[in-house]
Amino acid sequence: MKKPVDAAGVAVRRAALDVLGRIEEEGAYANLATNAVLGRSDLADRDRHFVTELVFGTTRMRRACEHLVTRHRTGGMSPRVAAALRLGAYQLAFGGVAPHAAVGTTVGAAPKPARGLVNAVLRRVADDVAAGIEWPDLATELSYPDWIVTALTERLGADAATAALRTMNRAATTHVRDDGYVQDAASQRVVASVGAGPGELVLDACAAPGGKATGLAATGASVVAADPSPARVRLVVGNRDRLGLDLSVVVADATASPYRSGAFDRVLVDAPCSGLGVLRRRPDARWRIDADAPARLAELQVHLLREAARVVAPGGSLVYSVCTLT
């Protein structure tokens, strides 16, 4: 007699697979695609959290999951089917989901013509996991591009790099400010380090999406939040309005600032960077950055700092922050 289908479990995997499909087929960002899918979902809160865990985990551990499934599949397949296989492999190897539940619900969520294939491959992956996985190298085991492992090993040493890479594979802790804005503790420390206060004029030169700018505005300082992208400026405006803050938001390129020399008491340059220090929060970032990014972005940061130094007043302060390990 066939076991009854776990309809709720299938619905969770179907939502996760919808997000993974958007990431794969449209280049969508994991967090934005997850929010979009869950925004129209009637899943219970617990299931919504599980969808996020499945999407972020499968995306983060993509290389390792690919290694687990490729030995058991042959020929081409659609991106959606490949995503279903990775989703199942993640649950089996890293998600702590019982094999029968991981396989059954993922097969139920997979495209119907491919369910036989997904079932066969995931059952073999479950056997591999039970027997113990032999990884070909550290980059595959921890699911990073080779260049990231190499770069961090050269900079931090093998032991410290491995520890950092393992840590960045764990789900991030959520921190919520007193005003309800979700912002990690390190970002809040950057805001505090600016030392802004009432009566001061402060520039956040690279402000989007607005977390630090709204934090600065909450101190009572007069804050200008600038970003060169109109689309990203709209994110700042949305956060400002939601929090009910007095914050000036402008479209401006911080490498060629429109402001006069010495205009600001304090300037924050939260510079664009490779983001290697926040991979816990950005599961797809490791697959979006390339090996040339640190050097390329370092050159941009020099231009940003030169302009920031120009617009800060004599005796004022300039705070430079990045979220990377390179």
Residue where the block lists tokens 């865990």: 53
| The pair of three-digit structure tokens given for residue 41, joined into one six-digit string | 């979902």
Are 286 and 139 within 8 A, CB to CB?
Answer: no
Residue where the block lists tokens 């093998």: 158
Residue where the block lists tokens 């390329």: 296
Selected catalytic residue, list 65, 206, 273, 323: 323
Distance CA 272, CA 299 (A): 11
Has 323 been annotated as catalytic?
yes
Write phi, then psi, for 106 (nearest 5 degrees). -70, -40
Contacts 24+ apart (CB under 8 A), 52-57: 53/95, 53/171, 54/12, 54/13, 54/16, 54/87, 54/90, 54/91, 54/95, 55/16, 55/19, 55/20, 55/23, 55/30, 55/283, 56/30, 56/171, 56/283, 57/90, 57/94, 57/95, 57/171, 57/283
Active site residues: 323
